[in-house]
A and B are shown apart, each in its own frame.
Chain A
Amino acid sequence: MDLGGEARSRRTDKGFTGLVTFAGLTVLIVLGLILATTSVQAWPAIAQDPVQFVTGSRWSPSDEVFGTLSFLYGTLVTSVIGMIIAVPVSIGIALFITEVAHRRSRKYIVTVIDLLATVPSVVFGLVGSLVVVPWITPAYQWFADLVEPIPGLSTVFDQTNTGRNYFTAGLILAVMCIPIITSISREVFATVPEIDKQGAYALGATRWEMIKGAILPHSFGGLVGASMLGLGRAMGETIAVSLVIGGAVGMSANVFAPGNTMAAVIAQQWGEAGDLHRDALIGIGVLLFAITVLINFLARVVVRRAEIQMKGAHS
């Protein structure tokens, strides 16, 4: 009888349980610490005028005036442009992979999307700022001329002299969000019961009618969640945006005008910022953190609920 060994082994077991539990808790600890430490650090800059910090559109570090509204606006505009492009394209790709492609070509397409996801964002920014911007500026001018006579459209797509603007940033964000939206959409489509699809075909539906009648209604909730995850990603994207957004303070209804986003302004101004200016930039980070965490949390809840609903209906 080796009772000492038995006791030691039990202690090891307990210790191991504690160790892994602590490892699991690190996620919560880190998230909590992020929120706590950055909020405390940013407080001096925010406390000057907390309302003005969110609703003010004047950002003048030399006068110690920090209003982030124009960056909030830029974040919103660029990510909405990105989503308008990325969501339909991603859903299309996911449909192509799950419903149209043959087994062999499916593998290649998945590889292409995976590779797109591995390209570092700074490389997108590099190609965007040095290649796409010079190419695309004449296209913007042409389009602005084209819609000139149409009121409304001529405000949104107004004349421009620079390719570094909201729209270019939105384009790059779209490319960067396609992989994540595609992969979640595929997961969502995979939960559509085979029997529904076969049933639609058996009733004589074409492939498009099957997609419209069986897949899309089933997946709507999940697709909303997938798009929200993409939105969260787009809002937090920093480097690629900061290279192509132009770095202007202000809000313009013209999507061809230069601006700035919350994440990008931090990266651009960090290097030359003084103490209070840095605290204000950290404050922007806290605001961004709160927004993205909220969106991500809601998106996960939506996706999970949609999944449960579908599996529940099937089993």
Chain B
Amino acid sequence: MTALHSQTPPDLSGRNLSFGRALANRTATIAIGLCVVIAALPLALVVWQVVSKGASAWSLEWFTAEIPRNYRTEGPGMGPAIVGTLAITGMAALLSIPVGVLGAVYLNEYGKNKPLARFIRTMSDVMTGVPSIMMGLFIYVGYVIVIDDQNGFAGALALACLMLPIVIRSTEEMLRLVPDELRQASSGLGARKWRTTMGVVLPAASSGITSGSLLAVARAAGETAPIIIVVGLFYGYRPDLFDGSNTTLAAQIFRNASQPFAASQERAWGAALTLIAIVFVFTILSRIVAARFAIDKR
């Protein structure tokens, strides 16, 4: 009959597939879709559990009171851990972001495809894969043993080591998006390279750099392993990072979660909710900055 109606095109829609091929295609599509569900489930579980169990711990006192020393003592108090988290992470950002941005400037503006730059690029990728606990052990040996005291600054140093490669790689990606015409226009006006870099290239990429750095901060704020190695344990407020042992939310979650007592576990849930809220705020900020001030991708 196709011979009679040769003008009508053959039916190429899926209906004509053989049963076996259609089944394979359908099965594969469902399996692929299931993978997304499998990944979404743990996220949903974590959010549901942390919000439902952590919310009851929140109160005004929760954010201000000192941490109870005894695991069995009921009641609130994570103020010092919140301050410790913000202070240690903030100090880590101060240490790592300038070095990371300048390092990225070297990679993208100076080193480019030189062997040294390529090596540094590979090694900073490798460094992002170094286990975070290793940064803690490194700072323990290189700083804590030397000054013979655990303190918040040691934690900041360890987190800075962790953030450095992330900042470098994300900044480099952003610098790469800055159009070459800007650099040429600047040097055409007689600016030296450092002026071009500081006055034109970095400002043009500033939103991307900020966004990437905020993400690095968010990741560092939740780190636990290096903190328990170098920061020690403390229950009260210690805004001075050089003044002995300190504490963070992540360290408190770890400490309280490993105890069998209901009171400490409740504090762990509350601290988890607080930590997730902080990390979430940084992540959202990073997205807003990235979306609002994005440079044209050419």
Contact = CB atoms under 8 A, between A and B. Distances in A.
Interface in A1-25: 9-10, 12-13, 15-17, 19-21, 23-25
A17 B129 contact: no
Contact of A96 (B32, B127, B168, B283): B32
Interface centre among B32, B140, B165 (most CB of A within 10 A): B32
Contacts of B229: 266-267, 270
A206 B25 contact: yes
Interface centre among A88, A125, A209, A299 (most CB of B within 10 A): A125
A122 B254 contact: yes
Interface stretch (A53-61, A189-197, A286-294, A305-313): A286-294
Contacts of A182: 39
Interface stretch (B66-74, B190-198, B237-245): B190-198
B254 to A, nearest CB: 5
B279 interface: yes
A285 B222 contact: no
A115 interface: yes
B250 A120 contact: yes
A207 B25 CA distance: 7
Contact of A236 (B21, B120, B132, B161): B132
Contacts of A236: 129-134
B126 A296 contact: yes
A30 B43 contact: no
A192 to B, nearest CB: 16
Interface stretch (A65-73, A127-135, A155-163, A249-257): A127-135
Contact of B49 (A21, A131, A289, A293): A131
Interface in A84-118: 88-93, 95-96, 99-100, 109, 112-116, 118
A232 B129 contact: yes
Contacts of A12: 192, 194
B17 A122 contact: no
B190 to A, nearest CB: 10
Interface string A17-42: 10111011111101101100110110
Interface in B20-38: 21-22, 24-25, 27-29, 31-36, 38
Contacts of B268: 126, 130
Contacts of A237: 131
A46 interface: no
Contacts of A118: 218-219, 222, 279-280, 283
Interface residues of B, number: 92
Interface in A272-296: 281-282, 285, 288-289, 292-293, 295-296
B29 A288 contact: no
A123 B276 contact: yes
B153 to A, nearest CB: 17
A232 B125 CA distance: 12
B39 A116 contact: yes
A119 B137 contact: no
Given A38-B137, A263-B225, A270-B229, A10 B25 contact: no
Interface in B195-221: 197-198, 218-219, 221
Interface residues of A, number: 89
A282 B119 CA distance: 27
B124 interface: yes
B32 A100 contact: yes
Contacts of B132: 236, 238
Contacts of B161: 30, 34
A267 B107 contact: no
Contact of A115 (B35, B43, B193, B223): B43
Interface centre among B134, B197, B219 (most CB of A within 10 A): B134
Interface in B103-135: 103, 105-107, 109-111, 116-117, 119-120, 122-135
Interface in B134-181: 134-135, 137-138, 140-142, 145, 161, 164-165, 168
Interface of A: 9-10, 12-13, 15-17, 19-21, 23-28, 30-31, 33-34, 37-38, 40-41, 88-93, 95-96, 99-100, 109, 112-116, 118-127, 129-132, 175, 178, 182, 204, 206-209, 211, 229, 232-233, 235-239, 243, 263, 266-267, 270-271, 281-282, 285, 288-289, 292-293, 295-297, 299-300
Given A24-B106, A208-B27, 15 more contacts: A17-B110, A27-B103, A92-B36, A116-B42, A118-B219, A119-B43, A119-B279, A123-B276, A124-B42, A182-B39, A211-B28, A238-B133, A266-B137, A289-B134, A293-B129
26 contacts: A10-B192, A17-B110, A27-B120, A30-B164, A34-B134, A38-B138, A92-B35, A96-B32, A100-B29, A112-B43, A115-B43, A119-B43, A120-B223, A120-B276, A123-B275, A126-B257, A131-B45, A131-B49, A204-B12, A206-B21, A207-B28, A209-B21, A237-B131, A266-B225, A267-B133, A293-B126
